[in-house]
């Protein structure tokens, strides 16, 4: 599992609101009370990361552009400034934003803000976050540029019909046949964790194709902002079927587990949000995810498969070493090792890695082209950099080395084509 969600149009533009103990860690240490609870929710929910411009922007003041299929949507100022922020909001205004996606003045919000998940939030959770944003955040008079989409997507009034068709109603209700920890995890994942915003496929109207474990598409993987959010169900290949609950919890806290490392948008998510989850919350999330049935089987991992030369093994064609094998040996093996097992706590393993086995190779191609960085966390290993090879390798070489990786050391996944690489590079530019 390398991604729980990405910061795209389908990612959060508002906080994940969670029911937590009435304390949280702040930069000053342990504090108590309602504001501390709200701060904890804002931190683990990623409020600041979505509502703050990258590279030293004003916290919570908005302005961050979010790439969407409709165009670029700009995050808003959610500081208590009375003119440019939410300083004049009542709690009822805030609750309507979170539950219905409607701001004061009957302004319909784009589903870049995942209010389709927040409908499950309790008023108590919303109140804690609202109190923190109004009393614990410094006001800013920064006015983010307005969102300007091309016609017909600029017609916000039409969103009322989208909501009528796709916005679920009602709060999360505990399942009586499940224990408290399972229900806690389900609540976090389905509502304020809004994992489905990135990990659940979208329909033609960009609606999530499922809101909970009863839907067969729920959390089965999705491309967001040119990153692939992986399958979080119990699938054995590209899912979580081979990860235990302890490993999932460790990944959320550190960005590392079982030889896997968070990258791309998930590295940011771990760094800024999930590492701050309490032990109880992270265990609850892991427990819930481990109960999801296996769906959308992708790829396979057979570590005992004989390493016979041939196209499926990826390393040789006849008696001639393939291009992919040569590129891997020259540019990849030093970090990821000749056997694909990586270096524990430093460089991720590629053998059996769920991201390697996904049918969609978007993330692998992007990493090979642009490079990446692991997350910096309080308890995890130091982040390592992966260089990009856009100026070093041709599209053909990138395609063949990724195919080699996806078909070696027991991995079985579809080949990557040169056209796959060329198309994604065009999108990235």
Residue 391 maps to which CATH number?
Answer: 1.10.760.10
Of 192, 144, 184, nearest in space to 47 by CA: 192
Query: Which run of H or of E encompasses 428?
Result: helix 418-428
Contact of 252 with 286, CB cutoff 8 Å: yes
Residue 381 lies in a domain: yes
Q: Report strand pairing: 260-261 vs 222-224.
A: unpaired
Residue 384 lies in a domain: yes
- Which of 269, 290, 311 is the last residue before a domain boundary? 290
Cα separation, 238 vs 240, in Å, equals 7
Residue 200 lies in a domain: yes
Distances (CA, A) of 387 to 227, 322, 348, 370: 17, 23, 14, 7
State if pTM tops 0.85: yes
Q: Are residues 221 and 358 in the same domain?
A: no
Q: Are residues 269 and 349 in the same domain?
A: no
Residue 184 lies in a domain: yes
Backbone angles phi, psi at 327, to 5 degrees: -65, -45
Cα separation, 40 vs 28, in Å, equals 13
Cα separation, 118 vs 100, in Å, equals 8
Q: Are residues 281 and 322 in the same domain?
A: no
Q: Are residues 345 and 204 in the same domain?
A: no
Instruction: Retrieve residue 94's tokens.
Output: 């805030």
By CB atoms closer than 10 A (0-12, 13-18, 19+), residue 90 is exposed
Q: Are residues 280 and 361 in the same domain?
A: no
Q: Are residues 114 and 242 in the same domain?
A: yes
**Residue 4 pLDDT > 70:** no
Could you please report the per-residue DSSP string of 165-181?
A: HH---S-----TTS-HH
List, in order, residues 6 or more apart from 429 with CB less than 8 Å away.
none
Number of domains in the chain: 2
Tens of pLDDT, residues 198-253: 999 999 888 999 999 999 999 999 998 899 999 999 999 999 999 999 999 999 99
Identify the band that residue 305 occupies on the pLDDT scale cut at 50, 70 and 90.
confident
- Judged by average pLDDT, the poorest of 2-16, 72-86, 236-250 is 2-16
Q: Are residues 350 and 420 in the same domain?
A: yes
């Amino acid at each position: 599992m390398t991604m729980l969600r990405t910061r795209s149009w389908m990612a959060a533009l508002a906080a994940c609101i969670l029911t937590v103990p009435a304390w949280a860690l702040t930069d000053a240490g342990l504090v108590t009370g309602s504001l501390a609870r709200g701060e904890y929710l804002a931190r683990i929910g990623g409020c600041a990361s979505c509502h703050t411009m990258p590279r030293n922007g004003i916290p919570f003041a908005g302005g961050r552009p979010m790439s969407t299929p409709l165009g670029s949507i700009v995050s808003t100022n959610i500081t208590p400034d009375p003119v440019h922020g939410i300083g004049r909001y009542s709690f009822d205004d805030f609750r309507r934003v979170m539950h219905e996606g409607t701001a004061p003045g009957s302004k319909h919000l784009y589903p870049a803000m995942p209010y389709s998940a927040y409908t499950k939030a309790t008023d108590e959770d919303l109140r804690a976050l609202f109190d923190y944003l109004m009393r614990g955040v410094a006001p800013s008079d920064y006015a983010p540029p307005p969102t300007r989409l091309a016609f017909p997507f600029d017609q916000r009034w039409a969103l009322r019909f989208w909501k009528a068709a796709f916005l679920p109603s009602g709060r999360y209700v505990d399942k009586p046949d499940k224990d408290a920890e399972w229900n806690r995890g389900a609540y976090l994942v389905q509502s304020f964790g809004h994992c489905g915003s990135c990990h659940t496929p979208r329909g033609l109207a960009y609606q999530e194709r499922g809101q909970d474990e009863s839907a067969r598409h729920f959390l089965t993987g999705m491309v967001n902002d040119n990153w692939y959010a992986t399958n979080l169900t119990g699938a054995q290949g590209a899912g979580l079927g081979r990860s235990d609950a302890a490993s999932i919890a460790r990944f959320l806290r550190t960005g590392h587990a079982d030889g896997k490392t968070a990258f791309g948008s998930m590295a940011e998510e771990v760094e800024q949000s999930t590492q701050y989850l309490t032990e109880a919350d992270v265990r609850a999330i892991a427990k819930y995810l481990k109960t999801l049935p296996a769906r959308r089987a992708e790829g396979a991992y057979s570590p005992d498969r004989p390493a016979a030369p041939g196209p499926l093994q990826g390393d040789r064609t006849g008696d001639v070493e393939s291009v992919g094998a040569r590129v891997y040996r020259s540019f990849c093996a030093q970090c990821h090792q000749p056997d694909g097992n990586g270096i524990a706590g430093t460089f991720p393993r590629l053998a059996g890695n769920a991201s390697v086995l996904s049918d969609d190779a978007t993330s692998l191609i992007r990493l090979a082209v642009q490079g990446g960085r692991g997350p910096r966390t309080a308890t995890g290993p130091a982040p390592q950099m992966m260089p990009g090879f856009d100026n070093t390798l041709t599209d053909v070489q990138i395609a063949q080395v990724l195919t080699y990786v996806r078909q070696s050391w027991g991995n079985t996944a579809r080949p990557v084509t040169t056209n796959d690489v060329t198309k994604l590079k065009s999108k990235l530019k």
